[in-house]
Each structure stands twice: as structure tokens, then as C-alpha cells.
Amino acid sequence: EAGVTQFPSHSVIEKGQTVTLRCDPISGHDNLYWYRRVMGKEIKFLLHFVKESKQDESGMPNNRFLAERTGGTYSTLKVQPAELEDSGVYFCASSLGGSGRGYEQYFGPGTRLTVT
């Protein structure tokens, strides 16, 4: 079974440009999450999808970040326009849902975003 995949693995952009990150969850996982780690800090939650619906957006830092999950499959996270403080590693995770072990989250390898 394929794990969570993310693309690209690394992106370097200039301040003011736009970047789109993609996440493909484990097949059959209804829950999809975005997290990020900025330099020297803990991994922080950004948002949670259940299928195509945003369940929790409480961690989104501002309106320069837009996440979508069309059709309840893969998800994209767009940053527009990018700022220097957006640099960090963006992780995607998925979980099956339901109860008990269905809440175990499986993480992708991350996308390292560098804004110069």
C-alpha cells in the first residue's frame, strides 16, 4: 500500500511569488491534514479535511494560504504571495477515520519550502 506522497519535495521561490504544494493521501483515507514546521519550532497544525470539506481551519496563519481538496482525493496548499516567514517544511498526513486506530495519522515526507 502506498503511503502519503507529497510534491514537490523541495521548492525555492522568491518573496511575492506563488507556490502550490500537493498531497496525495493513503487511498481510502477520508481525513487529510496539513501541518508545518518553521525553523526551530514545533510541528504545528494548519487544517483538516474530511473528504472534500474543511473540518478545522484554525491553524491557517492568514489569508495568503488556501487549501483545497477537490473530490475528496488529493489536496493542494497554495501560498500567495509567499513571504519570508513562510519558509519551513510542510507536512501532509492522512487517517482512515471512524474510531480508535482510525485516528492514527500517517505522514508524508514533507515539502521543504524556501522563500528568498
Q: Which residues bind other proteins (CB under 8 A)?
A: 4, 6, 31, 33, 35, 41-45, 48, 55-56, 58-59, 91, 93, 95, 100-101, 103-110
- Give the residue with the Cβ less far from other proteins, 14 or 42: 42
As beta bridge partners, residue 95 has 31
Which residues, 6+ apart, have CB-to-CB distance to 116 below 8 Å? Answer: 12, 13, 14, 15, 84
Minimum distance of other proteins from residue 77's CB (angstroms):
15
Nearest CA to 34 out of 3, 86, 79, 76 is that of 76
Minimum distance of other proteins from residue 60's CB (angstroms):
12
CB atoms within 10 A of CB 111: 22
